[in-house]
Structure 1
Amino acid sequence: MTDRTHPSGAPWRNFYGRFKGKTLRPSQDEYLTDLDHVGLAGVGWADNPERTPLDLDALTGGRPLWLEIGFGSGEHLVHQAQSNPGTVFIGCEPFINGVATCLGKIRDTGLENIRIHPGDARDLFDVLPEESVARAFLLYPDPWPKARHHRRRFVTQEHLAPLHGVLAQGATFRVATDIPDYVRQTLQEVPRAGFRWTSRRAADWRQPWGDWLSTRYEQKALREGRVPHYLSFERL
């Protein structure tokens, strides 16, 4: 991030991922209309230029708040929301095709404890109250395999420092990846941002969490011989 700003006053944040892929099917376009009631209001700079923090009571009604950063097509997000009906979930995903697919899953399941931010997680960090999130997930993020692109990964201080700010003391931060070098960078950078790696033995990071749902991406990684790592951190 630099000191430059957009005309709206938003900070100039480089974004390196995709916002849209193949042309959406008519059904996906129709799912996107659900953002009118599932979408998280007050995050975008256009409707909240003062960056007023979100009203946590209105959002959660006193329930715990969990966050998934980059939910893909929403498989894990929907699974967790079904398994934890007393928890409110925010899912961040800038890739609109994935957002549409996730909205279709939410409609099919009738879940009412998910809110979607179809954009950059950094904009959400601006407006989440401090220490408001009890658990966060970063699952199979874009690996950016070339060394010169490692600064684009989520596990840099530009992302981790504000994440630390919105997580409650003692909150859990889970990272899953099948890229060995991403594991290295995660174990190097996340503790620097104020987290403690909680693994005590190899099985802690080799075996998935007890409430884990193996996604289609993970199944592909396993078929191709890549080894998933399941890293858990505690916010200090």
Structure 2
Amino acid sequence: MSDPVKRSTFYGRRQGRPLRKKATELVETVLPKIQITLGDPENIVPYKLDEMFGRSGQETWLEIGFGGGEHLAWQAEHNPDVNLIGAEYFINGVASLLGHLDDNGAENVRIYRGDVRDMMPFLPKNSLSKVFILFPDPWHKARHNKRRIVQIETLDLLADLLVDDGELRMATDDMGYLQWMLERTVPHPLFSWQAESKNDWNQRTEDWPKTRYEEKALNKGLKPGYLRFKRLPRT
């Protein structure tokens, strides 16, 4: 799959180790049923989310780069009345999420496999209640910082997609990236940092389960940062 627009990528390799038999079966049989496909980028028609999920009136949440899918699957299981969209480029992560959904029986997830920035123009404005960006690739080298998903341009797009008072959650175990996130989101005119104390950045809320990457970070003695922002009401 090639990007419609030439630009820096925020993801690395597309596939890791070969998929096991069960994972391959899920990718071949289940993924086509819940996979989101792109429309014509030259004539963008927003998705009808009610039709996509086969029901109406539900909130819609988006997770960008869901990794192994632990967080997204947990949210789907514990919020059956919410529609969830997950975007991930890494096929092994997609297969892992499908395995979690197969285990917990959640049917309220749709998957976009690719660069989320290609899909975002097709999402209706003012349609997302929550967006998650959890432990994205930090792209440590300065010359690669432009590949980070958290950019002013991305925040502008998310502000258009989020409903008034909608929530943006971000997390990272890289303190340089945490500072990067804060430097771009705190001054943003359409977001408000929901920090209730000076230590709020290092605490997860009860409805924020750990991810596999977070477990690895904690086992290494790292202290992840957790950020919650609200989309300010439109005037």
Q: TM-score, normalised by structure 1?
A: 0.89
Q: What are the Cα deviations for residues 35-89 of structure 1, in whole angstroms up to 9, with x where unaligned?
A: 1211123x255xx652210012213511000111100010000001111111010
| CA distance in 1: counterparts of 2:95 and 2:156, whole angstroms | 29
| Structure 2 residue aligned with 1:219 | 215
Letter in 2 for 1:23: P
Equivalent pair of 2:39/2:45 in contact (CA under 8 Å): no
**More displaced 10-residue stretch of structure 1: 213-222 or 136-145:** 213-222
Q: 1:11 aligns with which of 5, 14, 18?
A: 5
Q: 2:36 aligns with which of 24, 35, 40?
A: 40
| Structure 2 residue aligned with 1:55 | 48
Q: What are the Cα deviations for residues 87-121 of structure 1, in whole angstroms up to 9, with x where unaligned?
A: 01000100011101111211222211011111111
Distance verdict in 2 for CA 1:14–1:148, change over 3 Å: closer
Q: TM-score, normalised by structure 2?
A: 0.90
| Structure 2 residue aligned with 1:23 | 18
Distance verdict in 2 for CA 1:49–1:25, change over 3 Å: farther
| CA distance in 2: counterparts of 1:227 and 1:91, whole angstroms | 25
**How do 1:151-162 and structure 2 match up within 5 A?**
151-162=146-157
Equivalent pair of 1:161/1:193 in contact (CA under 8 Å): no
- In the alignment, structure 2 segments of 5+ residues that lack a partner are none
**Pairwise CA distance, 1:30:** 1.1
Moved over 4 A (4+): none
**How do 1:57-206 and structure 2 match up within 5 A?**
57-60=50-53, 61-191=56-186, 192=188, 194-206=190-202
SS of residue in 2 equivalent to 1:144: coil
Superposed CA RMSD in Å reads 1.8
Equivalent pair of 2:88/2:113 in contact (CA under 8 Å): yes
Percent of residue pairs identical: 43
Letter in 2 for 1:68: E
| CA distance in 1: counterparts of 2:161 and 2:127, whole angstroms | 6
Q: What are the Cα deviations for residues 175-230 of structure 1, in whole angstroms up to 9, with x where unaligned?
A: 01111111111111123262111103123222111112112211211121111111
Equivalent pair of 1:160/1:193 in contact (CA under 8 Å): no
| CA distance in 1: counterparts of 2:14 and 2:169, whole angstroms | 24
SS of residue in 2 equivalent to 1:226: coil
- In the alignment, structure 1 segments of 5+ residues that lack a partner are 1-5
Q: 2:225 aligns with which of 225, 229, 234?
A: 229
| CA distance in 2: counterparts of 1:212 and 1:235, whole angstroms | 19
Equivalent pair of 1:29/1:100 in contact (CA under 8 Å): yes
